[in-house]
Structures are given as structure tokens and as C-alpha cells.
Structure 1
Amino acid sequence: MNTTKIIGIALIVIGLLGAALGGFSFTQDTHKASLGPINLSVAEEKRVNIPLWASLVAIVAGAAVLIGGARR
């Protein structure tokens, strides 16, 4: 399997995951205050939304890479 096929398949998989999940979330720890030996911190959950058009562009680009790589 050559590099162009791997890149094409990866783009298609990323596009499909982005379309199915719509985004991902992560937890960010922030250091708020330090009072002597006591440290106060807050864990915030943040969400990153992936637009549907970006997922569709990744799928189309992956298909184009696969088709273009097969023609060589």
C-alpha cells in the first residue's frame, strides 16, 4: 500500500468520524488560586465542533486522492 492510498483512506475515515460525531470534547485544568499549601484548580470541559462541510470536504478530498493515486 503506497502513501497516497494511506492518505486517501485516512482523509475518508476522518471525514466520516467528523460527520458522525460532530466534534469532540476535552477537559482543561486551570490553576485558579494558591493559598499557602492549598492549590485550587478548576476542570473545564470544552467542546470543539466540526462543521459538516469540513467533513464532506475531507471525504471528497480522500476520494480524489484515492482515484488520483490509482491512475498513476
Structure 2
Amino acid sequence: MNSTRIIGIILIVAGVAGLAFGGFSFTKETHKASLGPINLSVAEEKSVDIPLWASIAAIVAGAAVLVAGGSKR
């Protein structure tokens, strides 16, 4: 399997995952204060929404890469 097919498959899988989940969240830990041996930290949850158009564009681009990569033989 050559690299163009792998890139095309990764783009398609990423686009389908974006359509299925719609976004992801992660926890960001920030240290606000350090008073001697005591450290105060805040865990903040952030979420990132993946736009529908970006997911569809990734699927279309992945399909185009697969078609273009297969026709060069």
C-alpha cells in the first residue's frame, strides 16, 4: 500500500469520525498559585466542535486522493 492510499484512507476515516462524533473535549490543567509546599491548580474542560463542512470536505478529499493515487499506475 503506497503513501497516497494511506493518506486518502486517513482523511476518509477522520471525516467519518467528525460526522459521527461532532467534536471532542479535553481537560486543561493550569497552575494558578504556588505557596510553599502547597500548589493550587485548576482543571478546565474545553470542547472543540468539528464543523460539518470540514468533515464532508475531508471525506471528499480522501476519496479524491484515492482516485488520483490509483490512476497513476
The TM-score by the shorter chain falls in which range? over 0.9
- Number of residue pairs the alignment of both structures matches: 72
Q: State the Cα distance separating 1:35 from its structure 2 match.
A: 1.9
Q: Give the TM-score taking structure 1 as reference length.
A: 0.95
- AA partner of residue 12 (structure 1): I
> What residue number does 1:52 align with?
52
Instruction: Please give the root-mean-square deviation of Cα atoms over the aligned residues, in Å.
Output: 0.7
For residues 34 and 69 of structure 1, the distance between their equivalents in structure 2, rounded to whole angstroms, comes to 55
- Identity %, equivalent residues: 74
Unaligned segments of structure 2, at least 5 residues: none
Secondary structure in structure 1 of the residue aligned to 2:58: helix
| Deviation digits for residues 25-63 of structure 1 (CA, Å, limit 9, x no counterpart) | 111001111222111101011001110100000000000
Q: Give the TM-score taking structure 2 as reference length.
A: 0.94
Unaligned segments of structure 1, at least 5 residues: none
